[in-house]
Structure 1
Amino acid sequence: MLGAPRRAPASTYAAFGATWVKFTDITWGQIVPRSGMNACGGYSWGKLDGWVQEWQAAGFEIQMVLRSRSDWATQPPIARYPLNNPGWLWPVS
């Protein structure tokens, strides 16, 4: 949902009886936007925190999927996930 198109407020969905929401398009690169950032203030939780607060205030249970994709962690950046990489198909013994 980070960078997602505009949507109705959580309270609108609650009025229709919805009780849970799933945030599915959150990537590590959005939480830590640049390399070299550290735990002492390098994380960017602002947008995500705002959404969580909004949906919790409307009474929703929240499920979140954090994807590992990060452009800065791959040089040069690639657009494939490990499951599309044959080297990730077999477990390590």
Structure 2
Amino acid sequence: SYNAQKGEAYECGIPTRGVSMAQFKVGYYLYAILFLMFDVETVFLYPWAVRMRELGVEGLLCIALFFGILVLGLVYAWRKGALEWK
């Protein structure tokens, strides 16, 4: 049921002017999620880079596998068209 109080601003208390409902394309959200995902995952490469000499060949293979999964995810997103602005 509609109520006048449901239409009021509740977060900041500042009344809105005009229509406060704005729709955004889903592509913007997908782009932002992909950016955050790859940004956070590349942060995990830093500790490996610091300890690379101690990890040896096994550490290098783990980094290569991790980086390969990142590249596959990027290629998948690219082919699906999630990185294109239309």
- Give TM-score, length-normalised by structure 1: 0.32
| Structure showing greater relative contact order (alpha-carbon pairs closer than 8 Å, 6 or more residues apart) | 1
Whichever structure has more strand as a proportion of its residues is 1
Rg larger in structure:
2
Whichever structure has more helix as a proportion of its residues is 2
- Give TM-score, length-normalised by structure 2: 0.34
